[in-house]
Amino acid sequence: MKDYYSLLRVPKSASIEEIRRSYKKLAMMYHPDKNPGNKHAEDEFKLINEAYQVLSDPDKKRNYDNLLLYDEFQGTGASSSTHTTYSTGSRKPPPPSATNNPKTRYIFDEKYYKSIKISIVIFIVMMGSVIASYQVREYNKRQKTILEQNILSQKLNRIYTLVSENKYDSAIYQVYEYIAEAPLNYSFKIAKDSVFKMASKAAFSQYNNEKYKEATFLFQLLRKHNSFRYDELIEPIIYSYIRGGLRDSAIQILTHRIENNDMDVSSVILMSKIQLNELHQIDIAKTYIDEAKEMFKKTQTITYGKAFEMVMDVKKAPDVYFDLFILRAEINEKLQQYSEAYTDGNWATFLRPDNAKGYEIRLQNGLKIKKYTRTCMDIKNLERLNITTDQSLKTKYCK
């Protein structure tokens, strides 16, 4: 390794200013212009410049000093340099014509092998430290995962324990709290859906067991969190409210639905049914069921045109339309409007030709208004559907 300090005739403790002064002096001495044709002077000039470029730069000098120390530790030192060294007190450099190019020698002695052993030990220790550090990190990671899973399991058990105790409101609030704490944890979202399904099932069970207050509480809870399809639960909700003492709330819910959807025929029919059977307001029930009939006609006219009876595909008609005319016939019969009830029977048999209820309505009301054109047809259709009729009627009208 080249000894730049010897090249510039300065000690290793020399300052930048001392290095600069020595460099200028030596550069003047070995400059090619002052030594034309002198190969040694030219090489010396290049080495001096190389040394100055390193020692004049603080970063390069620091790196060079570190390498120099390492080289000395290995036992080679700067003495193995291919360049002749000079004492720092020398004022007279050798003449430019002088040459000094000794052969480099490498000595493999006990000190050399000792340094190799030390390097190997250091390497093994470092690798062991790296491996140990990695294993510690992996262990901590596994422990953290186990801890998180245990905490998750405890939280989920807490939720389902509340459900098992029928504390659905507490379970729902608890699961929302956990979701807020860990919004990216999908387990809590699954738990939320599960709690809502169990609450919905419990609400129906309470409703079927005529425990209307309990059912009302659960339905209110489900409505608050919008956790179900309203159309599927609207009827049990309304009846639970009414029979659970919340009649005004039930009417308010239905009225709001009707006002906000002018084509919600199901809600209008349900309102009519509630007014008839629960509130015993037959005139109001009649108003709503007539509105439902107009909605039916409007919908079919938009779909098929004004003569929709001729082209309508009754197989695609929902059951709610059949229910509409069955309920309307019942209301008209109570109001003794038998002609209207007879017409309702016509619509019912048209929409569901394999349902006996429509033929019964039309037969009974046709007899009341003395309209016998379809009496025999109705009797035969009822027999086809295994409904027993008065044989005297068959004898009289089926000749």
CATH number at residue 391: 1.25.40.10
Question: How many domains does the chain divide into?
Answer: 2
* Tokens read off for 228: 């179900």
Q: What is the CA radius of gyration of the chain?
A: 52
Is 111 domain-assigned?
no
Mean pLDDT of 346-350: 96
Is 357 domain-assigned?
yes
Measured CA to CA in angstroms, residue 33 lies from 36, 111, 130 at distances of: 6, 47, 58
Last residue of a domain, one of 103, 132, 157: 103
Supply the pLDDT for residue 98: 43
Mean pLDDT of 299-313: 90
Q: Regarding predicted confidence, which is higher, 8 or 111? A: 8
pLDDT digit string (tens) for 46-60? 999 999 999 999 888
Separation CA 133–CA 135 (nearest Å)? 5
Q: How many residues does the chain have?
A: 399
Last residue of a domain, one of 55, 79, 103: 103
Is 380 domain-assigned?
yes
Structural contact between residues 322 and 351, judged by C-beta atoms closer than 8 angstroms: yes
Is 125 domain-assigned?
no
Supply the pLDDT for residue 108: 65
Is 174 domain-assigned?
no
Q: Residue 88 pLDDT more than 60? A: no
Mean pLDDT of 110-131: 86
Mean pLDDT of 147-167: 91
Structural contact between residues 195 and 248, judged by C-beta atoms closer than 8 angstroms: no
Q: Residue 75 pLDDT more than 60? A: no
Q: Residue 331 pLDDT more than 90? A: yes
Mean pLDDT of 120-137: 89
Average pLDDT, the chain: 86
Last residue of a domain, one of 72, 103, 134: 103
Structural contact between residues 10 and 18, judged by C-beta atoms closer than 8 angstroms: yes
**Which pLDDT band holds residue 245 (cuts at 50, 70, 90)?**
confident
Q: Residue 51: which of 12, 79, 90 has the closest Cα?
A: 12
What value, to the nearest 5°, has the Cα angle with vertex 287 and ends 283 and 291? 165
The position carrying tokens 């000190």 is: 111
Q: Residue 74 pLDDT more than 80? A: no
Q: Residue 399 pLDDT more than 70? A: yes
Is 320 domain-assigned?
yes
Q: Residue 193: which of 233, 222, 162, 161 has the closest Cα?
A: 222
Q: Which of 106-110, 146-150, 197-201 has the lowest mean pLDDT?
A: 106-110
- Give the range of the structural domain holding residue 26, as residue numbers without chain letter: 4-103
Is 30 domain-assigned?
yes
241-262 exposure pattern, b = at least 16 Cβ within 10 A, e = fewer: bbbbebeebbbebbeebbeeee
* Tokens read off for 374: 């379809």
Helix count (H) and strand count (E) of the chain?
Answer: 18, 0
The top-scoring range by mean pLDDT among 35-39, 77-81, 145-149, 378-382 is 378-382
Look up the pTM and report it: 0.56
Angle, helices 319-334/356-368, rounded to nearest 10 degrees: 30
Supply the pLDDT for residue 299: 92
Q: Residue 80 pLDDT more than 50? A: no
Looking up residue 18, the CATH number of its domain turns out to be 1.10.287.110
* Tokens read off for 398: 């089926």
Q: Residue 157 pLDDT more than 70? A: yes
Is 17 domain-assigned?
yes
Separation CA 75–CA 95 (nearest Å)? 31
* Tokens read off for 37: 């044709």
Supply the pLDDT for residue 77: 46
Q: Residue 212 pLDDT more than 70? A: yes
